[in-house]
Amino acid sequence: MSALELSDIQGTVLRGRPMPYYGTYLVFTVQNPRSALTLLERLLPKVTTAADWEAPAENAWINVAFSHAGLSKLGLPEDVLSGFPREVRQGMAARSAFLGDVGSSAPENWDMPHAGNGLDIGLLIMAGSIALRDDKIAIGHAAVSGLPGIVAAHRLDVGLPPTMREHFGFVDGISRPYIEGQGGTPLPGQPIAKAGEFVLGYENELGEIASGPGPQELWRNGTYIALRKLHQDVAAFRRFLRDNANSPEGQELLAAQMMGRWRSGCPLAKSPERDDPAMANDPLRNNDFLYLKEDPDGRVTPAGSHIRRANPRDALDGTVVDMKLHRLLRRGSAYGGVLPEGVMEDDGADRGLVIALINANPGRQFEFVQSQWMNDGDFISEGDRTDPFAGRKDKADDFVTLKPRKRYRGLSQFATTRGGEHLFLPGIGGLKWILGNVKPA
């Protein structure tokens, strides 16, 4: 095991989201490659790394990522471009049928640009205060100032709602893998993952060095981010709970069974009967559970619940699936205003989640989880059934609990995809390689 080269890795890979958080995603379209390189040159000294990620000097970061289309416009050589993973080369919109982004989630309905229609360069900004965020946004604007042929195509602000929870009412961001070499010690229940699952240039779970396209200088300490914008239909979720439970307590239990955690974040596995906020707030206990021995059939944490699908822990041991090959590092953040408590009809406002899923192998990590675990049920003997929150609902729209034994029907598309892309997040050395080796035509 080698220590991660933290000062060469962009900060978002390792830094935990501040609480509360204020973030912005800025999307730029490149019309002039020379300007894009100047933008990069100006940004380079400002890009925040993962150095001192546990106690950063500044509670804010700015990172830069590229779509494959953006790298192509910059002028990366063809033999390098062709070496990117298939998923990155094709772009997320082209993968929509496989990923289940169909119907209302289809790319023609997306409102965030993707590769090929405007997302060439993305700036990822996250901060612990509005002032710190605005400082980072100013860096982004200064970097493009006066440059012809760089179009600010989109801005999406994210921030922790006043409820301190995402829009469906859940505390999120509790579970994440511990990356070998990141420093510190893993929390109880935190799986230990090889660094090469999340950062290129290190050994992965197959015993290989995770590598990227072209020279090592370009990809070492870089990674890929599957960026997803998901609109949440909060009113529909509330109506579903109301219509399928007889009491407020019953609604909370149903919500918890769909998620696998009570809305406080307390895992059902640790407190099956009632919420336990003290448990939820204790990092030594709130993630310390497995399924295979205690709950193999999903009587406590339903097999089809969101957290058990997204991270089956040991539930699939003894099957074809090796959980270690399908881990994700998830960075979720909310956008849009809160639907006031008790409101049961949609107010037409856009609200939801932006999820940045960090993975060194988009095919066997994000795309596997999305296609096999979110949008199918065969791996848990549930046929076509999909995730109650994140799954497509055109194949199946039901959800099953074993205690009580009940099949809930008519789940709506509570979360709809409104944007998505596979982005390349180079290391600092990779950014320098681009500046030193790419010559615009």
Partner 1 sequence: MAPTPAEKAALAQNVTNQPDGPGKRIGKRGEVHVIGNVLPGGGKLFRERIAQFQAEAGYWETHVGTVHDFRVLMFDNDTRILISAIYDGDFLPYLADVINQAGPWFDMLMPGVWEGYTSASDTATRKLIGRQAYTADAFYAGYPDLTTKDIAKMRKLRDAVNAMLDSAS
The answer to whether 420 and 93 are in contact (CB under 8 A) is yes
Six-digit token pair at 223? 């990674």
The closest alpha carbon to 304, from 235, 373, 215, belongs to 373
Secondary structure letter of residue 145 according to DSSP: T
207 is a contact residue toward partner 1 (CB under 8 A):
yes
Contact region for partner 1 (CB under 8 A) — 59-67, 144-152, 321-329, 385-393?
321-329
Question: Among residues 45, 342, 381, 407, which is the contact residue for partner 1, using CB under 8 A?
Answer: 381
Closest separation in Å from C-beta 208 to partner 1: 6
Residue range at the interface with partner 1 (CB under 8 A); choices 57-65, 283-291, 360-368, 423-431:
360-368
What residues contact residue 355 under an 8 Å CB cut-off, 6+ apart?
A: 226, 227, 228, 230, 330, 331, 332, 333
Instruction: Centre a 10 Å sphere on the Cβ of residue 268 and count the other Cβ atoms it contains.
Output: 23
**How far is Cα 179 from Cα 190, in angstroms, rounded to an integer?**
10
Using CB under 8 A, which of 181, 277, 332, 363 touches partner 1?
Answer: 363
Q: Which is nearer to partner 1, 217 or 384 (CB)?
A: 384
Q: How far is the CB of 321 from partner 1 (least distance, A)?
A: 5
* Separation of alpha carbons 197 and 388, rounded Å: 27
Task: Give the Cα separation of 351 and 235 in Å (integer).
Answer: 11
Return the residue of 197, 233, 367, 387 that touches partner 1, per CB under 8 A: 367
CB-based contacts of 150, cutoff 8 Å, min separation 6 = 28, 29, 30, 31, 32, 35, 36, 39, 144
Please report the DSSP string for 289-321 in residue order: --STTT-TT-SSS-TTSHHHHH--TTTTTTSS-
Of 111, 208, 243, 297, the residue at the interface with partner 1 (CB under 8 A) is: 208
Question: Which amino acid is it at 422?
Answer: H
How far apart, in whole angstroms, are the C-alpha atoms of residue 153 and residue 137? 14
Nearest approach in angstroms of CB 84 to partner 1 is 14
Number of residues that bind partner 1 (CB under 8 A): 22
Nearest CB to partner 1, comparing residues 99 and 307: 99
* CA angle in degrees (0–180, nearest 5) for 210-211-217: 130
Minimal distance in Å, beta carbon 323 to partner 1? 10
Is residue 376 close enough to count as binding partner 1 by CB under 8 A?
Answer: yes
Cβ atoms of 38 and 150 within 8 Å: the answer is no
Q: Does 345 bind partner 1 (CB under 8 A)?
A: no
CB of 325 to partner 1, least distance (A): 5
| 82 makes contact with partner 1 (CB under 8 A) | no
Among 372, 394, 397, 412, binds partner 1 (CB under 8 A): 372
Q: Say whether residue 5 binds partner 1 (CB under 8 A).
A: no
367, 98 Cβ separation under 8 angstroms: yes
According to DSSP, the β-strands at 22-30 and 60-66 are: unpaired
Compose the 97-126 pattern: x for residues touching partner 1 by CB under 8 A, - for all others: xx----------------------------
Among positions 44, 235, 321, 435, the unique one binding partner 1 when judged by CB under 8 A = 321
Can you tell me which residue has the tokens 């300007």? 35
Q: Does 235 bind partner 1 (CB under 8 A)?
A: no
Interface with partner 1 (CB under 8 A): 86, 97-98, 206-208, 318-322, 325, 363-364, 367-368, 371-372, 376, 378, 381, 383
